[in-house]
Amino acid sequence: MEGQTTSQATAAVPFEYDKQLVISVPVSDLERSIAWYRDVLGFELVYKLEQYGWCEMSTPYSGIYIGLGQQEKEPIVGGTTPTFGVKDIAAARAHLESHDVRFDGDTYEIEGMVKLATFYDPDGNAWMLAQNLVEDYRG
């Protein structure tokens, strides 16, 4: 492995993945959250299990879904911040701001690499927008 770049080194996969990822997000009001993720982010409801306070919404990314789980107690927020790659961060931010979405400060740039902006859903769960400034750094 010495002397190899990240794209050249391959890790052994310990088991077979099914190429789907569900990001579970705690929410306080399932219906309000379904509407917000649909109307603000453009996600589509795949299914809802009313009796469990759970639903999954499709994203624009193949195989990646957002699972919304209603919490009886105040949801605990924090931890992982999922990041959406966008082509034009200024346009994406303007759209979200037109829906009164709260941002954590200004959009910032890691010079020559990426522009980033953190925003929050109605329950305070953090999400991030990222506009890649490098052509194809992941190989």
The architecture in CATH of the region 78-139 reads Roll (3.10)
Question: Is the model's pLDDT at 9 over the cut of 80?
Answer: no
How far is it, in rounded angstroms, from Cα 57 to Cα 52? 15
How far is it, in rounded angstroms, from Cα 34 to Cα 45? 7
Question: Is the model's pLDDT at 98 over the cut of 70?
Answer: yes
The band of 135, judged by pLDDT with boundaries at 50, 70 and 90, is confident
Token pair, residue 121, equals 């859903």
Question: Is the model's pLDDT at 82 over the cut of 60?
Answer: yes
Does residue 125 or residue 9 have the better pLDDT?
125
**Domain residue ranges of the chain, discontinuous segments joined by +:** 19-71, 78-139
How far is it, in rounded angstroms, from Cα 32 to Cα 27? 9
The partner residues of 131 in beta bridges, in order of sequence, read 115
CATH of the structural domain 19-71, one choice from 3.20.20.70, 3.40.50.300, 3.40.50.1360, 3.10.180.10: 3.10.180.10
Burial 38-47 (b: 16+ CB within 10 A, else e): eebbebeeee
Q: How many CA atoms lie within 13 A of 62 on its CB side?
A: 2
| pLDDT score for 1 | 43
* Alpha-carbon distance values, 39 to 33, 34, 48, 111, 132 (Å): 10, 8, 17, 32, 25
| pLDDT score for 79 | 74
Average pLDDT over residues 53-64: 95
Q: What percent of the chain has pLDDT over 90?
A: 72
Q: What percent of the chain has pLDDT over 70?
A: 86
Whether the domain at 19-71 and the domain at 78-139 fall into the same CATH topology = yes
Average pLDDT over residues 95-110: 96
